[in-house]
Amino acid sequence: MNDESGQLVRKIVLLVLDMQESFLKVMPDRERVLARCSLAVSAATLCGIDVVFTEQMPDKLGPTLPELLALAPEAAVFSKEAFSGMDAHGMDRYLSAGETEHLLIAGLETPICVYQTALAAYGQDLGVTLLADALTCRRPDDGQQILSALRHAGCHVLPTETVFYSLLADARHPAFRAFTQLVKKYG
């Protein structure tokens, strides 16, 4: 639902998990997932949706890719040791303070951090949508099985463009033209 200015009324947060070079360098589709995460972060920023990043043990594994952080300069960044992003230091306070109702999830790795984050969020009565084309893992077959299991558990699994076009709802939305340019840019 949108208000008169086109801003979303219900609280949605884009959670981008562990987009760190130490992980990405072993992913078979690094460039594809980076492009789709860039689209998701840019679209969320355009639509006034908060963006949050997690970093798995950044002191040992390095930070989130700077090019992603640059797309959402106001984004919160939470470090974590646990695999679930819901267990990142300060995440619970952040989500409850903002009265978050729904998470859009992107990043990696689908069978580990994405899986545990989605189940934990769903278990906390948050709506969960996994941006299927903005997720990756070392073993694509495992990723597909996990997305199927998460769908069966009650999470939504949709492509990034589908989600954001649904949020815009209409070609007359003030952000429509800018979003279509992002789609072209990130292919």
1 found inside a domain: no
Task: Read off the pLDDT of residues 79-129 as tens digits, 9 standing for 90 and up.
Answer: 999 999 999 999 999 998 889 999 999 999 999 999 999 999 999 999 999
Inform me whether the pLDDT recorded for 157 exceeds 90.
yes
pLDDT, position 98: 83
What is the SS3 assignment for the chain? Answer: CECCCCCECCCEEEEEECCEHHHHCCCCCHHHHHHHHHHHHHHHHHCCCEEEEEEECHHHHCCECHHHHHHCCCCEEEEECCCCHHHCCCHHHHHHHCCCCEEEEEEECHHHHHHHHHHHHHHCCCEEEEEEEEEECCCHHHHHHHHHHHHHHCCEEECHHHHHHHHHCCCCCCCHHHHHHHHHHHC
136 found inside a domain: yes
3 found inside a domain: no
Inform me whether the pLDDT recorded for 142 exceeds 90.
yes
CB 64 within 8 A of CB 55: yes
Task: Read off the pLDDT of residues 11-23 as tens digits, 9 standing for 90 and up.
Answer: 999 999 999 999 9
pLDDT, position 179: 96
141 found inside a domain: yes
Task: Read off the pLDDT of residues 27-78 as tens digits, 9 standing for 90 and up.
Answer: 999 999 999 999 999 999 999 999 999 999 999 999 999 999 999 999 999 9
6 found inside a domain: no
The count of structural domains within the chain is: 1
The 10 Å Cβ neighbour count of residue 149 is 14
147 CB-side CA count, 13 A: 24
29 found inside a domain: yes
Q: Degrees (nearest 5) of the Cα angle 86, 92, 97?
A: 140
Which CATH number is 138's domain given?
Answer: 3.40.50.850
4 found inside a domain: no
Sequence length of the chain is: 187
pLDDT, position 10: 57
90 found inside a domain: yes
pLDDT, position 3: 47
- Range of 119's domain? 12-186
Inform me whether the pLDDT recorded for 1 exceeds 50.
no
pLDDT, position 52: 98
**How many angstroms separate the CA atoms of 37 and 52, rounded?**
12
* Residues whose CB is less than 8 angstroms from the CB of residue 163 and which lie 6 or more positions away in sequence, other chains included: 104, 129, 131
CB 161 within 8 A of CB 168: no
**How many angstroms separate the CA atoms of 187 and 66, rounded?**
20
